[in-house]
Structure 1
Amino acid sequence: MSTFLIKNARIVNEGSIFEGDVLIENEIISQIADSISPKTSNCVIIDAEGSFLLPGVIDDQVHFREPGLTHKGDISSESRAAVAGGITSFIEQPNTVPNAITQELLEDKYQIASKTSHANYSFMMGGTNDNLEEVLKTNPKNVAGIKLFLGSSTGNMLVDNPETLEKIFSSTKMLIAVHCEDEATIKANLEKYIAEYGDDIPVNKHHLIRSEEACYLSSSKAIELAQKTGARLHIFHVSTAKETELFTNKIPLEDKKITAEVCVHHLWFTDKDYDTRGNLIKWNPAVKTQTDQDGLWKALLDDRIDVIATDHAPHTFEEKQNKYTSCPSGAPMVQHALVVMMEAYIKGKISVEKIVEKMCHNPAKIFKIENRGFIKEGYFADLVLVNPHMPWNVKKENILYKCGWSPLEGINFKSRISHTFVNGKLVYANGKVKDVIAGQRLTFNRE
């Protein structure tokens, strides 16, 4: 295997930035120092002067659509886009076709990824109203967690039986990740707008249908249940300022039993963008108001929100042209999430150290991922070089998602990912994804 020496990098790790060199041997970061000389003649030297060297991003929520919906995306295509965007590990959700709600169906996805994934991978076990026995068979050492949909989204996996929910929460020590939107509230709101508009509801009503009330009601109930049962709860894609009041920054992350995630699109878009982006920014939970976005940023920066993720969810462009009631929610984001956050850094909204904390360190801590998420000697060499002075424009020709579109098309970014390493292998360099299946199954430091 090749040895790589990254020279003169601005290394970002654990709240500090320092200039230095990093030596990669086999799969591992073998040395970090002010200056390192190559040990062998076949060592590949990369001069990173002016660029940030970050730990590879760990995206704790993606939908890569395999099996069953591979016309939208698959593990191969979307992991290629992920490594081009600096994401070196992903945790994929169970609402594929068929749903990953038995141990056999879950393992099928791992087998596919072992042959096709450019990035490291884990897959959530899906909970339903009647599969508790299967859920409890889940191995905490090699599965990221249990996913519950407390509001219906793509895949018909709604868990709405209170007794079942309490049994799941009280029966497993594994992390339970939840999609929180109150179904009854959404249904009542939708009926109101259908009465007014029929099927062709303006998409700018989406955040009023999947409303603040729907999100807060569901999130607060989930937290109440977690507090009652002692469950380890992680709330995905918080989208309202009101919900941020439910979380604390008074204790260290390692001691939190209830953690929260925000998605890149909720930090970038607001309801004003429906006028220009239309259904392309139709997500569940919905992109909401400027007040909500301001509240999310505040909670992210003061550590009530712990993780930034993508909820990458590709649909075909044709599907996105449908009328509101038949247009699926979700959009692809893995290729662009890190540069979106770097743009926020350039605008002075967040530090690079805080980006690394929320996208790399904290997912590793929350899920207890072994030997990833940090730039440390002995850790796997999952690394990303970001040049903050290399402008580019998102356009069809450079979009790598299988669906072929992005809600960010036409936007200029000042930063660019130049190199991505997964397990010590160079998988992306200067605009090209290499034909290397470098991904490994994530493992977790749990009892």
Structure 2
Amino acid sequence: MSSTLIVNARLVNEGREFDGDLRIESGRIAQIGSGLKARGNETVVDASGCRLLPGMIDDQVHFREPGLEYKADMATESAAAVAGGLTAFMDMPNTSPPTLDAAALEDKYRRASGRAWANYGFYLGASNDNLAAIQSLDPRTAPGIKVFMGASTGNMLVDNPEILDGIFRDAPTPIITHCEDTPMIDAELARYKAQYGDDIPAACHPDIRSRAACLKSTELAISLARKHDTRLHVLHISTADELALFEPGPLVRADGSRKRITAETCIHFLRFDRADYARLGHLIKCNPAIKDASDRQALIAALADDIIDVLATDHAPHTLEEKARPYTSAPSGLPLVQYALVAALELVHEGKLTTAQVVQKFAHAPAQLFDVEGRGFLREGYAADLVLVEDTPFTVQREDVLSKCAWSPFEGTTFHSRIASTWVNGELVWNGRQLVGDPAGQRLSFTR
């Protein structure tokens, strides 16, 4: 494998920013220091004026494979991910067929091998009839168990109280939840359909998938986790109302213990709000819904205050044709991996977060929460999953989008940082302009 020396970088890691050099050997971070000298035929990268970060670990993506490859697949979406500085992803189980047993889980790992540009892990899904598969899951084979406590595709809505209780009682990994109360959503949808038919205005989406529906479901998940002392991670928090349910403070405490109940939000909740439906319509229709400007500001503050532990994407691409349909048939979800990190760094340029806080939420915390082995930090001996960030403005253009759906909600947005280089397992895979070499992604290991 190649050897690379990155010099004159501004390294950001574990709450610190410092000037230094970093050597990559055999796919690992071999040395971090100052004044390191090149050896032999070593490739030297002068990173003057750039920040070197651990590669981002996205704990929530929908890469659509198997079954929905016309929208996206592991190769195309992981390519977009590394172009965005994301070096590992954890993919959701609501595919076709859904990932509800060990055989389906291993099928996804086989599909990713040799095709994924980033490192990969796959969640086992929960349903009303696969409790035995959950109980027998080898905890080293999946980052967690995904429970849809709100609407989902196929049979993945878990609404049987006894099964739900059993999942929280017996889960051998962290449980991650989508929390929205389906009966409340259905009642609101019926009310709006009576007024508008199928062509409901997109701006009504946060009222149909309401904050009350989010709050009720999140309260239920937390009550079950407390009852069984389950490790629970609540995904895509979208409201200020839910923040009071979570404990502030670092994910890993001074004594080495970890929070048992954690929260995540997503980049689109930090960059869009209700006013943007007038401009973007169904392009920003997602579940849970993007809500008010006051929610957006509260979520940003909660990241800074360590109430929210993880920042992710919930990357969920659909075709433009699908998004152009009337409200009731336009699917929810948007493509985000390629521009998520630079969108998060806009909060740094705006003075709302520090780069170290972005790294904590996007890299360190997912690695710690999901027991990811040897990744997520700039540490000697760790995998060389790295991203070099340059503060050079650029404007997002549709022709630059690498996701198969070929559009972005950020089109026309000017960001003040760009991804200059991405390394996965020590190999350069993105040079700031295009993909380089071959897919270098590896299966994530979980130390449990």
TM category (shorter chain) comes to over 0.9
Q: Does 1:334 pair with 2:337?
A: yes
Question: 309-318 vs 431-440, which deviates more?
Answer: 431-440
Match of 1:45 in 2: 44
Q: Does 1:4 pair with 2:4?
A: yes
Q: What SS does the corresponding residue of 2:220 show, helix, strand or coil? A: helix
Q: What SS does the corresponding residue of 1:379 show, helix, strand or coil? A: coil
Q: Does 1:30 pair with 2:30?
A: yes
Q: Does 1:264 pair with 2:263?
A: no
On the 8 A contact 1:110/1:123 being kept in 2, the answer is yes
Match of 1:243 in 2: 242
Work out the CA distance in 1 between the residues paired with 2:154 and 2:81: 23
Work out the CA distance in 2 between the residues paired with 1:234 and 1:91: 14
Match of 2:285 in 1: 282
Work out the CA distance in 2 between the residues paired with 1:255 and 1:430: 36
How well do the aligned residues superpose, as a CA RMSD in angstroms? 0.9
Work out the CA distance in 2 between the residues paired with 1:232 and 1:196: 42
Work out the CA distance in 2 between the residues paired with 1:187 and 1:44: 58
Cα-to-partner distance string for 1:316-340 (whole Å, 9 max, x where unaligned)? 0100000000000000000000000
Work out the CA distance in 1 between the residues paired with 2:259 and 2:187: 35
> Which of 438, 443, 446 is equivalent to 1:444?
446
Work out the CA distance in 1 between the residues paired with 2:311 and 2:155: 25
> What's the CA shift for 1:88?
0.1
> What's the CA shift for 1:435?
3.5
On the 8 A contact 1:7/1:47 being kept in 2, the answer is yes
Match of 1:323 in 2: 326
Distance 1:197 1:156, change over 3 A: farther
> What's the CA shift for 1:115?
2.2
Match of 1:131 in 2: 130
The one-letter amino acid paired with 1:432 is Q
Moved over 4 A (4+): none
On the 8 A contact 1:142/1:441 being kept in 2, the answer is no
Q: Does 1:17 pair with 2:20?
A: no
On the 8 A contact 2:237/2:263 being kept in 1, the answer is yes
Cα-to-partner distance string for 1:15-73 (whole Å, 9 max, x where unaligned)? 01000100000110000001111122x21111000000000000000000011000000
Report the identity percentage: 52
Cα-to-partner distance string for 1:220-249 (whole Å, 9 max, x where unaligned)? 110001001111100000000000110011
Q: Does 1:434 pair with 2:436?
A: yes
Q: Does 1:190 pair with 2:192?
A: no
TM-score (norm 1): 0.98
Cα-to-partner distance string for 1:122-171 (whole Å, 9 max, x where unaligned)? 00000000101111222211311100100013454111011000001001
On the 8 A contact 1:77/1:401 being kept in 2, the answer is yes
The one-letter amino acid paired with 1:340 is A
The one-letter amino acid paired with 1:35 is G
Match of 1:57 in 2: 56
> What's the CA shift for 1:344?
1.2
> Which of 308, 326, 341 is equivalent to 2:311?
308
Q: What SS does the corresponding residue of 1:417 show, helix, strand or coil? A: strand
> What's the CA shift for 1:202?
0.1
Distance 1:359 1:250, change over 3 A: closer
On the 8 A contact 1:340/1:413 being kept in 2, the answer is yes
Q: What SS does the corresponding residue of 1:403 show, helix, strand or coil? A: coil
Cα-to-partner distance string for 1:396-415 (whole Å, 9 max, x where unaligned)? 11111100000111111111
Match of 2:221 in 1: 222
On the 8 A contact 1:148/1:179 being kept in 2, the answer is yes
Matches within 5 A, 1:385-396: 385-388=388-391, 390-396=392-398
Match of 2:211 in 1: 212
Work out the CA distance in 1 between the residues paired with 2:432 and 2:146: 36
Q: Does 1:297 pair with 2:296?
A: no
Match of 1:417 in 2: 419
Work out the CA distance in 2 between the residues paired with 1:149 and 1:68: 19
Distance 1:252 1:77, change over 3 A: closer
> What's the CA shift for 1:298?
1.6
The one-letter amino acid paired with 2:394 is W
Q: What SS does the corresponding residue of 1:90 show, helix, strand or coil? A: strand
On the 8 A contact 1:8/1:49 being kept in 2, the answer is yes
Match of 2:360 in 1: 357
The one-letter amino acid paired with 2:381 is G
On the 8 A contact 1:154/1:328 being kept in 2, the answer is no
Cα-to-partner distance string for 1:181-228 (whole Å, 9 max, x where unaligned)? 000100000000000000000000000000000000000110001001
Structure 1 unaligned blocks of 5 or more: none
Work out the CA distance in 1 between the residues paired with 2:312 and 2:154: 20
On the 8 A contact 2:249/2:305 being kept in 1, the answer is no
The one-letter amino acid paired with 2:53 is L
Match of 1:369 in 2: 372
> What's the CA shift for 1:173?
3.0
Work out the CA distance in 2 between the residues paired with 1:294 and 1:114: 40
Work out the CA distance in 2 between the residues paired with 1:72 and 1:300: 31
Q: Does 1:76 pair with 2:75?
A: yes
Work out the CA distance in 2 between the residues paired with 1:351 and 1:10: 14
